[in-house]
Amino acid sequence: MAQSSDDTGSKARFLESYVPGKFRSNLLELGRICGERRIKLYLCTLSFALTAKDFSGDCTLPYFARTPALLKLLIERYNETIKDVARLTNATVIDVNGFFSKLDGGAKLYSDPIHLSDEGNKILSKFIYDMVRPQMELYPDI
């Protein structure tokens, strides 16, 4: 079923109101500060429950996303920004979204479409630790 031009215009206006411009400028500033201080910067992509069934039941979408499709577009836009800023600032991207999208039991790892459950956070902390640990081993006195 094709979208009406009104639906398309509404979606465009919605997305324009949530452009990650301020987010981008904040990340760039963080990258600049880390660079000046010779601090290795790691940026994590945002994760979210990926399938329509993950959004069913009692799950409420965040106030800024009226549909799962809009939420997905917003998260993708922010993740593109994260990856672009990482490239510009020589930061390392930890692809949390890619990691969680490959795990079994996806929806059980979320308390809602964008927030991880306790179990999801345990898995996330181990994943990030495993990604950062090799750098920590290079500097054991820190």
Overall pTM surpassing 0.85 (yes/no): no
pLDDT digits (tens, 9 = 90+) for 44-68: 999 887 554 555 555 566 666 667 7
pLDDT digits (tens, 9 = 90+) for 112-139: 778 899 999 999 999 999 999 988 777 6
pLDDT digits (tens, 9 = 90+) for 62-106: 666 667 777 788 888 899 999 999 999 999 999 999 998 888 776
H/E run at residue 44: strand 42-44
Tokens of 98: 């890619």
Round to whole Å and give the CA distance between 85 and 104. Answer: 30
> Could you give the angle at which helices 5-17 and 68-89 cross, rounded to 10 degrees?
40
* Amino acid 89: pLDDT: 97
* Amino acid 125: pLDDT: 96
